[in-house]
Chain A
Amino acid sequence: MTTEPATPQPAPPVVVEGPAVDQPPAVEQPAAGGFADVAIDAEPADVDTVERAAGTPEESQPYAELGLQDDEYERIREILGRRPTQAELAMYSIMWSEHCSYKSSKVHLRQFGEKAPKSDRMLAGIGENAGVVRITDELAVTFKVESHNHPSFVEPYQGAATGVGGIVRDILAMGARPVAVMDPLRFGAADHPDTARVFPGVVAGIGGYGNCLGLPNIGGEVVFDPCYQGNPLVNALSIGVLPVSRLQNKAAAGVGNVVILMGAKTGRDGIGGVSVLASATFDEESEQRRPSVQVGDPFIEKLLIESCLEIYDAGLVTGIQDLGGAGLTCALTETAAAAGTGMRVELEKVPLREASMEPHEILASESQERMLLIIEPAKLDAVLAIADKWGVLATAIGVVTEPDPDAKSGRLIITWRGQIVVDAPPGSLADDGPVYARPMREPSDLILLQADRAETLPRPATPGELRQTLLTMIGSPNLCDKSWVTEQYDRYVLGNTVLAQPEDAGVIRIDEESGVGVAISLDGNGRYARLDPYNGAKLALAESYRNVAVAGGTPIAVTNCLNFGSPEDPGVMWQFAEAVRGLADGCQELGIPVTGGNVSFYNQTGSVAIHPTPVVGVLGLVEDVNARVPMGFGSDGDVIMLLGETRTELSGSEWAWVTHQHLGGQPPKVDLAAERALATLMGQAARSGLVSTAHDLSDGGLAQALVESCLRRGFGAQIALPEGLDPFVQLFSESTARAVVAVPRGHEKAFAALCDEQGVPWSALGVVDSASRSLSFRDLFSVSMDELREAHTATLPRLFGAAATDAGAEADDAGAVAAPSPKAAETTTDAEPATGADGEPAEPEPVQSADAPSAPGGTDQDGDARG
């Protein structure tokens, strides 16, 4: 039995490491006795071994700096029966951090399981890498949303990029092919100077990584609010599809099986990212932590996806786990703990980017694009051949060992050049972390905040004021057109994107033969949750549920990303507990289970926390994607109908914020029974073809929904608001359980009857009318399509540079997407674009039809960011 040389083999980037895998690793080699053979030439061997730790019990250790409390450190000593080695201390500090152990949230999150409605669709739930939901007898879908908030503030591009990479590996680890991503994003005030640093970087990072992976980005959110100024929220969701029979798990079962590390080499990037970055609040030292943010390489991840899928299909895997937060430490301990086995790992076999890395650095590294595979020895060669085919590094680093005869689990023994540096029960790291029932107290300012209602604010009264309010609202940063963002994402790749942003939900076809697909939406509203976290969480769930339903999906499962301030603040902890309770109750009422999620604490600067921001994702089944319902009016004469009841609900609304910078009162009433009725109605209407379009009402109310439905395909509308209720309230109230639909002429009666049957209130608002080239409200005001488009689309280019949306193409609103008009282009073929004096081609001149008046082409020229 030979021992590997001390210095890692310098291997070419795309070659499987030969010597390391020719034979099963030398695992049964006793630690003592192996010493003599080891060539310790690189550096002096002052590694903190288990033997040394046992002999130096009094040596002081920097556990507090690593984020461990006194009593937590004592518990580690108890578990080990000695002081931990340096490597063990690093592992415990990471695994017991808030990020990995959920120590503050665990006691609350239990409700998701306890209150979960029975569902025979759940194939894997909370605790797995991602929840898996059966769609048909043969096909399942897995989906999950995660946060990458802190890294994205420190290093926006890489933080956001690796957020995409991380969630995609979670999906991959379940046996699924990732098929789409979505990103709910929240930033500080749109006009704050630091937002101009964070926002474009985050968007570019998401695009840079996701586009290169070949995953369509089909939706998400972009929200600006001063409360996120130092704490942007960068959440990422991925969806994957798998044959039911290909479901994977992470258990390192089978004594003697080989532990393979596959993918990128391990470097110093991301060391301490989990225990330091994700668990500490930002302060002036953040700048110094920059190197601890991980750097991604989507090309390696793409190869990793393809090779893993090929390995799955060949039936070669016993267990698999992605490496994300806490890197190898988390993967090794979780896989062993899940199987109740032990593991023996030779750490020097891990391919390194820097030869001088020490054991604790290798164990803590969060280098991206890595997976841990548990493989039967007989299948090893086949696995390595597939890795080789795709040019992915795959290295045997250890072996699964027997459980202790007298214990439920085995031991995780990690050696470094023949010496034992870790000897611990894996379950103590993965499962037995501390659990806290933190003190909670309703924030003292809440009563006053709730008493300060927006319903008493001065409202626009005259038609002119209403018109101006509408234009201001649709151009406000949260309600304006988000093409500046979404044009940087590929939404077409894979060819199965049926609906993508700005539609209410993303819809993906998952089987080309049968046309079965899924709809998914992600929603959250920090203002509502600030006013009432219990109902705020329910409102997020309700909106997401509604979005899926109006697009033609039947909601079946829920994921969530809970973004909060410091759990050590009793006020924040109360908000968290209330939000979890609200979400769990809401899911119970709607009959759809939570399948997994993520908690992000410490989103605060100093003592100021972000608004509590639960982001909720709902997955819906679409039996035939041909029956999906888009949001844009597209057929003249369709009857526009409003579904649901409109109340005077302005507190927490976008209107109160945009026009009065006001936040106070009670958020809109939650009525999940009404949401359910609306969803049932929309499902029936979609299947029977009774509606041609549908659009959910949420932020900005009816006005926003009508404008979006008009602009989507360039069809105007004539509206007559029902008598009785203040037109302003009708246009801008944010009452829930509402939608706007367009019903083909002749179907109104049938549709109205269906509404009555389901008990959904309805009223006829008007008709789709493209010839009018305007959105008009009878007896009130009218706005031309061009003015609407200008107001809606100019905001982000004005704030962040026109580069990504040089206009012009949209000059002819009807022509741009739906029906290209032949007259639209009257350029001469020999025309040469203007060339700047410096020799560089100037901004391409948008070719416009001669009759396009005041086209937004002018808007891009003043704010050109190309420098």
Chain B
Amino acid sequence: MSARVGVVTFPGSLDDGDAARAVRLAGAEAVRLWHADADLHGVDAVVLPGGFSYGDYLRCGAIARFAPVMQTLADAARGGLPVLGICNGFQILCEAHLLPGALTRNQHLHFRNRDQMLRIESTATAFTNGFEPGQEILIPVKNGEGCYVADERTLDELEATGRVVARYLQGNPNGSQRDIAAIANEAGNVVGIMPHPEHAVEALTGPSLDGLGFFTSVLTHLAGTAALPAGANASGVSA
């Protein structure tokens, strides 16, 4: 039986269909989850997709964080459920304090969509174990508020503990501190990424197939063969 990966739809989610497609192309079953339903329906992993949940009112992700599904999800994530937050999903994870730091307005104040080079800095997460350390990949970036910020100590800690998952190469598209494009929690099961791997899963529609690695990695992780650091994977697969 293939793994079941949930994709949450909030009001204003836009890339939910794309995330579900990426899950399917990776070989898993995509399970659509609804923001108002606290039940995770037994999924093995969850993707929080890109978009403008609740119209970005108040602050990106600030309202979505309080959705019923997020209460359940936060507990499950702390228990080891793999969760990938893409763009708005990354913002929601930060608002939910599942990841440190925050995403602020792009320094140049414009929305920016371009094909972006990244370097995978950590393969010790549930979503990057299929990449080579230092591998360079090309996936689209598109955001208006993607500038990652955190205090120096947090940044140092992220670096020291290998939790910077990906960095921008050949130009930082939004002014993120230390060129950070993606980070993980301590256990490596929760990953937030600002660019969009789900838009690089088909040769016909994406700049590359590099995005698929995030979705296949989690299947490897779920199969129990992922090489996560000792102690970081206490409960790799949720019940």
Contact = CB atoms under 8 A, between A and B. Distances in A.
Contact of A846 (B21, B114, B137, B170): B170
Contacts of B144: 211
A492 B52 contact: no
B113 A489 contact: yes
A803 B109 contact: yes
Contacts of B57: 299
B175 A844 contact: yes
B178 to A, nearest CB: 6
Interface stretch (B75-83, B93-101, B202-210, B221-229): B202-210
B177 to A, nearest CB: 6
Interface in A830-867: 830, 832-833, 840-841, 843-848, 865-866
Given A214-B15, A626-B204, A806 B55 contact: no
Contact of B178 (A214, A390, A496, A832): A832
Interface string B73-113: 00000000000000000000000000000000001111111
A492 B170 contact: no
Interface string B140-168: 10101000000000000001000000011
Given A492-B142, A832-B178, A509 B204 contact: yes
Nearest to B55: A299
A844 B142 CA distance: 17
Given A493-B14, A803-B110, A847 B170 contact: yes
Contact of A492 (B11, B110, B137, B196): B196
Interface string A188-229: 000000000000000010011001111000000000000000
Contacts of A497: 205
- State which size class the interface on B falls in: 35 or more
A26 interface: no
A844 B172 contact: yes
Contacts of B18: 492-495
B171 A846 contact: yes
Interface of A is mostly: loop
Contact of A207 (B21, B111, B115, B202): B111
Contacts of A300: 55
A488 B112 contact: yes
A808 interface: yes
B113 A803 contact: no
A848 B117 CA distance: 12
A843 B170 contact: no
A820 B201 CA distance: 17
B177 A492 contact: no
Contacts of B108: 803-804, 806, 865-866
A847 B169 CA distance: 6
A214 B50 CA distance: 10
A123 interface: no
Contacts of A486: 113
B136 interface: yes
Interface in B1-20: 11-12, 14-15, 17-18
Interface in B23-65: 50-52, 54-57
Contact of A841 (B115, B167, B177, B198): B177
Contacts, number: 165
B208 to A, nearest CB: 8
A490 B113 contact: yes
**B56, B57, B107, B173, most chain A CB atoms within 10 A:** B107
A625 interface: yes
A530 interface: no
B169 A299 contact: no
Contacts of B196: 492
B199 A492 contact: yes
A812 B178 contact: no
A827 B121 CA distance: 12
A386 interface: no
A199 B219 CA distance: 47
A302 interface: yes
A825 interface: yes
Given A495-B18, A625-B204, A824 B170 contact: yes
Interface in A342-397: 390-391
Interface string A292-309: 000001111011000000
A671 interface: no
A495 B202 contact: yes
B52 A212 contact: yes
A833 B171 CA distance: 11
Contacts of A830: 159
Interface string A489-517: 11111111110000000000100100000
B171 A844 contact: yes
A809 B117 contact: yes
A302 B56 CA distance: 13
B214 to A, nearest CB: 15
Given A302-B12, A829-B121, A495 B178 contact: no
Interface in A789-838: 803-804, 806-809, 811-812, 815-817, 820, 822, 824-825, 827, 829-830, 832-833
A487 interface: yes
A483 B138 CA distance: 18
A841 B112 contact: no
B170 A488 contact: no
A584 B113 CA distance: 38
A181 to B, nearest CB: 13
Given A487-B112, A498-B205, A833 B117 contact: no
Nearest to A832: B178
A298 B170 contact: no
B55 A212 contact: yes
A809 B171 contact: yes
Given A298-B55, A492-B199, A822-B136, A866 B109 contact: yes
Nearest to B149: A841
B112 A816 contact: no
B25 to A, nearest CB: 10
A488 B179 contact: no
Given A302-B12, A495-B205, A843-B107, A812 B113 contact: no
A214 B109 contact: no
Contacts of B199: 492-493, 495
Contacts of B12: 212, 299, 302-303
A232 B176 CA distance: 36
A626 B202 CA distance: 11
Nearest to B147: A841
Given A509-B205, A811-B170, A490 B117 contact: no
Contact of A214 (B14, B173, B179): B14
Interface string A457-484: 0000000000000000000000000010
Given A212-B55, A494-B17, A809-B170, A833 B110 contact: no
Interface string A222-254: 000000000000000000000000000000000
A845 B12 CA distance: 33
B19 to A, nearest CB: 9
A208 B11 CA distance: 17
Given A299-B55, A492-B140, A804 B14 contact: no
Nearest to A491: B113
A124 B179 CA distance: 51
Contacts of A498: 204-205
B191 to A, nearest CB: 18
Nearest to A203: B110
Nearest to A489: B113
Contacts of A866: 107-109
Contacts of A815: 170
A297 B169 CA distance: 35
15 contacts: A214-B51, A300-B55, A302-B52, A497-B205, A498-B204, A509-B204, A626-B204, A803-B109, A812-B170, A816-B170, A825-B119, A825-B170, A843-B107, A848-B170, A866-B108
Given A841-B107, A844-B173, 9 more contacts: A487-B112, A488-B110, A488-B112, A492-B196, A495-B18, A827-B167, A844-B176, A846-B170, A846-B172
Which 6 A-B pairs rank lowest in CB-CB distance, beginning with the nearest?
A: A299-B55, A844-B172, A214-B14, A803-B108, A809-B171, A825-B169
